């Protein structure tokens, strides 16, 4: 799956569907994928220069759009190896259509630190239930309350089987 980072065939490019991507913790894999993309964009730009005989980089060009989508995904899916125990998967919703403009209209809710933007996701092929097995939460001021809150949420949503654990990775903020 990681080898396809950034290359997603959306059913509707004007309103891209969310994708599920495994987080990559291995720096060697991160580097290999990044080098492939850098080679791709250099080759693409050379091809454009040879075929069009112009020196301008056009960020609206499909090669650059694919590269930008790769960058957006890698920023969300590359993490330091210290966090590997999380074995995290991320849901990524691209909010911009390839032609520009907003593809997804956000919703807003009140949060502890102000207004929070969010998007309701409809995950294709998942149905009504996510295949959750474990929730591993990070540093918190009160792990007991966090653990209890997550347990209540899971039970209330019919996920009694989900294991809830606290990450052993210390807060590094």
Instruction: For CA atoms 154, 157, 161, 167, give the dihedral sign.
Output: negative
In this prediction, residue 54 carries a pLDDT of: 60
Q: Is the pTM of this model over 0.75?
A: no
Is residue 21 very low, low, confident or very high in pLDDT (cuts 50, 70, 90)? confident
* pLDDT 10s digits, 154-171: 999 899 999 999 887 776
Contact 23, 111 (CB under 8 A): no
| C-alpha–C-alpha distance, residues 59 and 164, integer Å | 44
Asked whether the beta carbons of 151 and 164 are under 8 A apart, the reply is yes
Q: What local confidence, expressed as pLDDT, does residue 90 receive?
A: 82
- C-alpha pair distances (Å), 68 with each of 37, 65, 103, 138: 10, 5, 16, 29
Q: Can you tell me the mean pLDDT for 126-136?
A: 80
Q: What is the SS3 assignment for 92?
A: strand
């Amino acid at each position: 799956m990681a080898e396809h980072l950034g290359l997603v065939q959306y059913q509707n490019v004007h309103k891209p569907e969310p994708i599920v991507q495994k987080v990559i913790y291995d720096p060697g894999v991160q580097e290999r994928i990044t080098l492939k993309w850098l080679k791709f964009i250099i080759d693409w730009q050379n091809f454009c220069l040879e075929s069009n005989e112009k020196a301008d980089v056009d960020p609206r060009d499909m090669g650059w759009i694919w590269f930008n989508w790769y960058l957006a995904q890698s920023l969300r899916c590359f993490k330091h190896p210290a966090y590997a125990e999380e074995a995290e998967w991320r849901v990524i919703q691209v909010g911009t259509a390839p032609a520009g403009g907003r593809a997804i209209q956000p919703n807003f809710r009140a949060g502890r630190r102000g207004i929070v933007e969010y998007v309701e996701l409809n995950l294709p092929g998942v149905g009504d239930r996510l295949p959750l097995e474990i929730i591993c939460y990070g540093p918190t001021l009160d792990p007991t309350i966090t653990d209890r809150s997550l347990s209540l949420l899971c039970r209330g949503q019919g996920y009694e089987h989900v294991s809830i654990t606290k990450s052993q990775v210390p807060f590094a903020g």
